[in-house]
Amino acid sequence: MRIPPSDHTKKGLLPIVEIIQGPLIDPQLGLKSLDMLLTKYGYDQVKIRKSDVPIRRIKAELVIENDTDRERFEFLDSIINPDQQLF
């Protein structure tokens, strides 16, 4: 039995139909980046969806010894967790 090549193999593309994006801190940015990458390489018909799995938070002990440390932490925390305030 002979199977004719699909449209994807004729173009030299892999037969990718869907990509599930794993959990990210900024899922919208991840989706946009993935869409741009796929479009650049000719995979503009690939369906992209984000995973339902939540991102895991890593708990770490924080030692703040002075005001400079606190300011640095608050700045980084505002980037990583824009909707949460720890203090």
- What is the spatial distance between Cα 27 and Cα 48, in angstroms, rounded to a whole number? 12
| Domain ranges across the chain | 9-53, 57-87
Q: Which helix (H) or strand (E) holds 80?
A: helix 67-80
3 has a pLDDT exceeding 90: no
Q: Provide the 8-state DSSP code for 48.
A: E
Given this model, what pLDDT does residue 84 score? 59
Q: Provide the 8-state DSSP code for 57.
A: P
| pTM tops 0.95, yes or no | no
Summarised one tens digit per residue, pLDDT across range 42-76 is: 998 999 998 888 877 766 666 667 777 777 777 77
